[in-house]
A and B are shown apart, each in its own frame.
Chain A
Amino acid sequence: DIVMTQTPLSLSVTPGQPASISCKSSQSLLHSDGKTYLYWYLQKPGQSPQLLIYEVSNRFSGVPDRFSGSGSGTDFTLKISRVEAEDVGVYYCMQSIQLPAITFGQGTRLEIK
């Protein structure tokens, strides 16, 4: 199984300030089809996860442009340019190169200062 490792595990950010979360996979997520199967989800308190970013850097429909994803191979980053109160929750990276055996990172809890 591919292991996904996120850092940090928690973040406390002042509104309007940036935030960054790292995700490393135990093996490359670059598929022979040229796509990299790395995704970012946000689980808001009391809710099911919601997709933010697909294939490393593509924002899902309706996701604000303050969210951006980058990376390649085994190292990936989610950035929030200006944190807002509604961004509170737990962020997960997920790999699906071995679909359907998807795996998630441990999660990064974002709180507002």
Chain B
Amino acid sequence: DVKVTQSSRYLVKRTGEKVFLECVQDMDHENMFWYRQDPGLGLRLIYFSYDVKMKEKGDIPEGYSVSREKKERFSLILESASTNQTSMYLCASSQLNQPQHFGDGTRLSIL
């Protein structure tokens, strides 16, 4: 079974802090994704990575950056956290065009 592990289920940070959300997958998948989930909006893609050190912007990349130094790990970085980044963040991975597998999500609150 594919395992996608997000480092925290709940996280509370302060405005202006630099925040790191970590995601690790154990199936040697090429693709990894970071989504943001807000009520009534479904999931929106923040960034996508198709290989180590390769990334593409999704629909809402503003205020975020990502890092993929190793194939199994994909990090989402909030450079200077703001209250409008309070949300649920979901990481996913997939092998090429196969269905995406998701982690349990990180509920992030920015105070």
The answer to whether A and B belong to the same complex is no
A residues engaging B (CB < 8 A)?
Answer: none
Residues of chain B whose beta carbon lies under 8 Å from any beta carbon of chain A? none
